[in-house]
């Protein structure tokens, strides 16, 4: 671990510091491969191997399976660190360890099966599939888009609405199946986040045993594992609202990307000479722009800190409304989006070069802002309704 890493990050365990350092190395590799990942619409196997070898993909596993069981803040910092170099890579580098937390909400038999396989997990939460409840489980059929990182995964979780035998109503669930049980269509061709490889998955009459079904609403409401499963009270995805904890990576991606854009803006204005002969760093225009954007970035970091505080005190000082979590995330992302577009426009035409850091990072931050958990108007609508005592939309 470098001296720089120790000095920059405080409040993290030694294990987390080592993982953050490994995340920086993985991010640097992904940055060197940006043009290739843009062309291939996927990060490389080399990058994924780097995550696996570093232990990042297993960082959120329960300790009983040999995982380092890092904190929510630790995962957020890993994501932010990778995003400083490549936001698409941070998207995948977030989802692999995050999705490894999902089996912790399965019955013990399913948890053991999935985690002990050692394979990566991807998922799509959108409940677009059709479910038939059968003896011992469900049969699922559906076409799902946006399965990020599916190329390198062994397991796929797909969302649906179903009424299980133990439930008194239809509810949001997720069933896990092997990748070979579904068809993967490589249709990812997008404006931003191209390297995330978020392709389409088609399930046709796939049987999913009960041991591999997560009751997502129950996990969110109880903040505990299913009855009869191992329960580690220190596991970071218990005692917190499931969805709000699950979504913390998205604002951290934009924070990492925005910090890189600020550093690029400073570096490029220092080297920029305008046609009228003025060094741009001596211009009060660029000085004011940089100062303003730095203050905006600090605001966003502070809001993210508030988000962590809400998670950490949810059961001792909460509960808090889901709209507050959603609006904090959306505000952080919006601030970072505004930073990104201001940097691009202020730097002029040189910022438009294809696959240049500015062009790719601006597109990727905008793409993060389009994610369903990041939509600004949805988040503020929900928070405003919550403040007046009404129910909003979304899961947290």
Domain CATH for 191: 2.40.110.10
The pairing of strands 130-134 and 137-147 is: antiparallel
Residue 5 has pLDDT above 80, yes or no: no
Note whether residue 344 is domain-resident: yes
All residues at 6 or more sequence positions from 49 whose CB lies less than 8 Å from its CB, including other chains: none
Joined together, the tokens standing for residue 378 give 């949805």
Note whether residue 235 is domain-resident: no
Note whether residue 257 is domain-resident: yes
Q: Is 138 in a helix, a strand, or coil? A: strand
Instruction: Answer yes or no: do 252 and 362 share one domain.
Output: yes
CATH number of the domain that 264 lies in?
A: 1.20.140.10
Instruction: Answer yes or no: do 330 and 251 share one domain.
Output: yes
Instruction: Answer yes or no: do 271 and 362 share one domain.
Output: yes
Provide φ and ψ at 135, rounded to 5°: -60, 125
Residue 349 has pLDDT above 90, yes or no: no
Q: How confident is the model at residue 283 (pLDDT cuts 50, 70, 90)?
A: confident
Our count of domains for the chain comes to: 3
User: What pLDDT is stored for residue 1 in this prediction?
Assistant: 54
**Model's pTM, two decimal places?**
0.95
Note whether residue 357 is domain-resident: yes
Beta bridge partners of 203: 142
Instruction: Answer yes or no: do 60 and 162 share one domain.
Output: no
Residue 233 has pLDDT above 70, yes or no: yes
Tell which residue, 239, 235, 242, has the closest CA to residue 60. 235
Q: Is 213 in a helix, a strand, or coil? A: strand
| Bigger pLDDT: 280 vs 97 | 97
Range of the domain at 176: 121-218
Note whether residue 233 is domain-resident: no
Instruction: Answer yes or no: do 347 and 285 share one domain.
Output: yes
What is the average per-residue pLDDT within 132-146?
97
Strand ranges (E), the chain: 121-124, 130-134, 137-147, 155-162, 171-178, 183-185, 199-209, 213-215
Q: Is 396 in a helix, a strand, or coil? A: coil
Residue 2 has pLDDT above 70, yes or no: no
What is the average per-residue pLDDT within 107-125?
97
| Bigger pLDDT: 213 vs 275 | 213
Q: Is 19 in a helix, a strand, or coil? A: helix
Instruction: Answer yes or no: do 252 and 377 share one domain.
Output: yes
Q: What is the C-alpha end-to-end distance of the chain, expressed in Å?
A: 36
Note whether residue 112 is domain-resident: no
Instruction: Answer yes or no: do 377 and 252 share one domain.
Output: yes
What is the spatial distance between Cα 108 and Cα 131, in angstroms, rounded to a whole number?
A: 23
pLDDT in tens, 180-209: 999 999 999 999 999 999 999 999 999 999
Beta bridge partners of 130: 141
**Residue after which a domain boundary falls, among 218, 249, 278:** 218
Provide φ and ψ at 319, rounded to 5°: -75, 160
Per-residue buried b or exposed e for 247-267, using 16+ beta carbons within 10 Å of the residue's own CB: bbbbbbbbbbbbbbbbebbee
Instruction: Answer yes or no: do 278 and 340 share one domain.
Output: yes
Instruction: Answer yes or no: do 52 and 89 share one domain.
Output: yes
Residue 387 has pLDDT above 70, yes or no: yes
With beta carbons less than 8 A apart as the criterion, state whether 255 and 307 touch: no
Considering the chain, what is the average pLDDT of its residues?
Answer: 95
Instruction: Answer yes or no: do 250 and 356 share one domain.
Output: yes
Residue 229 has pLDDT above 80, yes or no: yes
Note whether residue 232 is domain-resident: no
Q: Which helix (H) or strand (E) holds 362?
A: helix 357-369
Reported residue count of the chain is: 396
Instruction: Answer yes or no: do 256 and 338 share one domain.
Output: yes
Note whether residue 35 is domain-resident: yes
């Amino acid at each position: 671990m470098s001296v720089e890493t120790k000095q920059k990050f405080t409040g993290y365990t030694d294990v987390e510091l080592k993982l953050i350092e490994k995340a920086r190395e993985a991010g640097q590799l992904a940055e060197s491969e940006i043009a290739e990942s843009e062309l291939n619409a996927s990060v490389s196997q080399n990058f994924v191997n780097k995550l696996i070898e570093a232990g990042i993909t297993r960082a959120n596993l329960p300790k009983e399976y040999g995982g380092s069981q890092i904190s929510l803040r630790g995962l957020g910092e890993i994501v932010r660190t990778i995003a400083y170099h490549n936001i698409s890579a941070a998207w995948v580098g977030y989802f692999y360890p995050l999705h490894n937390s999902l089996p912790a909400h399965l019955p013990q038999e399913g948890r053991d099966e999935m985690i002990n396989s050692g394979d990566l997990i991807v998922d799509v939460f959108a409940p677009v599939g059709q479910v038939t409840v059968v003896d011992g489980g469900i049969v699922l059929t559906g076409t799902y888009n946006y399965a990020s990182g599916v190329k390198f995964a062994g397991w796929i979780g797909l969302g649906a609405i179903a009424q299980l035998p133990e439930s008194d109503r239809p509810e949001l669930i997720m069933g896990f199946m092997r990748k070979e049980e579904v068809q993967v269509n490589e249709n990812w061709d997008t404006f931003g986040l191209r390297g995330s490889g978020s392709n389409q998955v088609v399930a046709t009459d796939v049987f999913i045993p009960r041991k591999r079904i997560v009751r997502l609403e129950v996990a969110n409401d109880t903040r505990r594992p299913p009855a009869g499963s191992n329960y580690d009270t220190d596991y970071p995805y218990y005692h917190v609202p499931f969805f709000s904890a699950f979504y913390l990576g998205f604002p951290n991606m934009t924070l990492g990307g925005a910090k890189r854009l600020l550093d690029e803006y400073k570096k490029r204005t220092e080297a920029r000479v305008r046609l009228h002969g003025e060094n741009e760093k001596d211009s009060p225009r660029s000085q004011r722009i940089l100062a303003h954007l730095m203050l905006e970035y600090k605001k966003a970091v502070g809001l993210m800190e508030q988000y962590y505080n809400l998670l950490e005190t949810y059961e001792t000082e909460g509960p808090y409304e889901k709209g507050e979590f959603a609006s904090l995330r959306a505000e952080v992302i919006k601030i970072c989006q505004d930073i990104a577009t201001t940097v691009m426009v202020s730097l002029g035409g040189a910022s438009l070069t294809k696959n240049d850091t500015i062009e790719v990072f601006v597109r990727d931050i905008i793409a993060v802002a389009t994610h369903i958990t990041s939509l600004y108007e949805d988040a503020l609508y929900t928070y405003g309704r919550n403040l007046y005592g009404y129910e909003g939309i979304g899961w947290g």
